[in-house]
Amino acid sequence: MVDRLCSPRQVDDLGEPRRTILRLAFHEDLTHEQISTRTGLPLGTVKSHLRRGLVHLRRTLEEVRHEFA
């Protein structure tokens, strides 16, 4: 889903570990707990990175939409 809405560059611009967390969530359909286990990051950190990454991508999409409106 993320790659269909955003270019790979926008996802890459998120940096680590957000890029990996978003890809695990959307490409591999992992839960927050599974991502936490796989990455070794605390569950709260995974949730925060996922939320902030999605907010960043949403803002980017809104900016692009306004440019073409």
24-47: pLDDT as tens digits? 998 899 999 999 999 999 999 999
- Answer yes or no: are the C-beta atoms of 46 and 32 closer than 8 Å: yes
Residues in CB range of 53: below 8 A, 6 or more apart: 14, 18, 19, 21, 22
pLDDT higher than threshold 50 for residue 3: no
- Whole-number Å distance between alpha carbons of 23 and 30: 9
In this prediction, residue 5 carries a pLDDT of 55
